[in-house]
Amino acid sequence: MATSTCFRLANARFWGWEGVGCCEGTCGHVWQYAHAVARLFPQLERDTRERVDFGLAQQPDGAIHFRAEHNGMPAIDAQAGTILRALREHQMCSDAAWLRRNWPGLRKAIEWLIAKDANGDGLIEGNQHNTLDTDWFGPVAWLSGMYLAAVRAGEEMARELGDETFARRCREIFDRGQPNLVKQLFDGEYFINKPDPKHTDAINSGTGCHIDQVFGQSWAFQVGLGRVLPEAETVSALRSLWRYNFTPDVGPYRAAYKPGRWYAMAGEGGLLMCTFPRSDWDYAQARGKGADWAAGYFNECMNGFEYQVAGHMLWEGLALEGLAITRMLHDRYHAARRNPWNEIECGDHYARSMASFGVYLAACGFEYHGPKGQLAFAPCLTPEDFKCAFTTAEGWGSFRQTTQAGTLKTALEVKWGKLTLRSLRLALPSAVRSARAQVRLGRKPMRATLTVKGQQAQLEFSEPILLKAGQVLEAVLS
């Protein structure tokens, strides 16, 4: 953000390149990976959704041009990502006024996406333009997975606003789509794509192991939607990415697959965009009759995609793998090799690298819903002694938890602004079997109802708690 990738225009509109001077229009299919701005400066992303995505970029049929006034076309992943971002922006508000004001445009955006599922089976058909800069055809696991996450987000937002008819419609699509996606596109180990036989010339990863294959589930965790794709198949897909796509040295692979840019050099590691473990599909088939500049993406290591997978792995309990990918990125940008403050894709200071903030949120197990007054932490790293910073709609602060002798102690401190809480959910470390809770705001005991489900402890407060700067809410579960 502190580079010339980002601008505040004279009319206060936030505007960004993909990377410095490259690819204009706060591109939807790139910026949807970037979680940092929305969590640190939520008003900027809210204004971008309202003024741009549901304003000047939205067409009468609901399509959102992914470069706003700079192009004339939508993209499937950008459309789905904008719907999911709208849920995130709503959650980073203190009330539902923003969502209510933008619901007409948001609902139209969801309806446009639903129209791309012509037969209503929960999978997208037809040409599917996406962040890899070409149109794909046939059932595409990662794009249809994002579609399912988007309709789940639509269901949640519609229900909050009392639009039950639309909420039911979204739910019905999701309930059909999830099993169809698994049945048609899970090959027993990971999720694949099925190229359309009418478009054999088009680029398609086919039975390759593609980096974004379960991106919809990754997004769902960022906005508290729970499971969009089944756990067993999703974890299997992530393990496959670790098995087939992660390498401590890209050199041998790139010696065999030469097209593509060298974001990782020989001797450096990373998570490759797409590999081809199956004998029925290879790079040449994936390329079709497309250009090497586009198909060459498959052979690259691109930071923002890698962060997306790393964060998802943390959410799914694959902490070692997720941290290894993150560390490999860190090492690639060691100051002895490159500028550590300039992660590059198509341009310097590339926006998609702000997906790294999603890794941080996953490590914290952070969930927040401002209008509902809900906050949750489930740290996956050193939960016995953990501390992190957090941001909310109207303030920011720190969270600390420690465990000792079967007791979980937490302290939630607001450092700036204010925070209204109606509930606090905590993950119980394995040594803690909570049967009772004590909650205090400063020296004042607070009434709370404790509900434990598995390793999740939910504290519901009898009255909303308003924390102001300098105040600490402590909870002891034992």
Q: Is 255 left (phi over 0), alpha (psi -120 to 50) or beta?
A: alpha
Whether residues 289 and 382 share a domain: the answer is no
| 281 domain residue, yes or no | yes
Asked if 302 and 399 sit in the same domain, the reply is: no
**237 assigned to some structural domain:** yes
Could you tell me if residue 154 is inside a domain? Answer: yes
Judge whether 91 lies within some domain: yes
Number of domains composing the chain: 2
Give the CATH number for residue 427: 2.60.40.1180
The share of the chain scoring above pLDDT 70, in percent, equals 100
For 226: left if phi > 0, alpha if psi spans -120 to 50, otherwise beta; the answer is left
Q: Inform me whether the pLDDT recorded for 335 exceeds 80.
A: yes
**Buried (b) or exposed (e) across 271-305, using 16+ Cβ within 10 A?**
bbbbbbebeebebebbbbebeeebbbbbbbbbbbb
Distances (CA, A) of 12 to 2, 7, 9, 69, 367: 16, 9, 5, 17, 29
Instruction: Look up tokens 């420690």; give the residue.
Output: 402
In tens, the pLDDT along 133-148 reads 999 999 999 999 999 9
Shared domain check, 395 and 277: no
Question: Which tens digit of pLDDT belongs to each residue from 25-57?
Answer: 999 999 999 999 999 999 999 999 999 999 999
Q: Please check whether residues 452 and 319 belong to one and the same domain.
A: no
Residue 48 located in a structural domain:
yes
Please give the residue range of the domain that contains residue 173.
Answer: 6-364
341 and 424 assigned to the same domain: no
Burial 227-247 (b: 16+ CB within 10 A, else e): ebbeeebbbbbbbbbbebbbb
Q: Are 38 and 139 in contact (CB under 8 A)?
A: no
Q: Is residue 333 part of a domain?
A: yes
Residues 382 and 327 in one domain: no
Residues 398 and 347 in one domain: no
Q: For residue range 218-273, what is the model confidence (pLDDT) as tens digits? A: 999 999 999 999 999 999 999 999 999 999 999 999 999 999 999 999 999 999 99
| Residue 1 falls inside a structural domain | no
Does 450 have pLDDT greater than 80? Answer: yes
Q: Of 340, 364, 388, which closes a domain?
A: 364
Residue 191 neighbours by CB under 8 Å, 6+ apart:
141, 142, 145, 181, 185, 210, 213, 214, 233, 237
With 90 as the cut, is the pLDDT of residue 371 above it? Answer: yes
Largest CA distance in the chain: 70
Look up tokens 């007791």; give the residue. 407
175 and 85 co-located in one domain: yes
- Do 305 and 446 lie in one domain? The reply is no
Number of C-beta neighbours around residue 382 at 10 A: 11
Residue 247, domain CATH: 1.50.10.10
Mean pLDDT of the chain: 97
186 within some domain = yes
Cβ 272 vs Cβ 250: under 8 Å: yes
Among 364, 382, 398, the domain boundary falls at 364
Q: Which of 186, 206, 91 is nearest to 145 (CA)?
A: 186
359 and 401 together in one domain:
no
Residue 434 has pLDDT above 80, yes or no: no
State pLDDT tens for residues 460-471: 999 999 999 999
**pLDDT per residue as tens digits for the range 270-319:** 999 999 999 999 999 999 998 899 999 999 999 999 999 999 999 999 99
Q: CA 388 → CA 207, 383, 385, 415, distances in Å?
A: 40, 11, 11, 12
Of the residues 330, 346, 364, which one is the last residue of a structural domain? Answer: 364
Question: Quick one: 251 and 388 in the same domain?
Answer: no
| Same structural domain, 302 and 419 | no
The pTM score is: 0.98
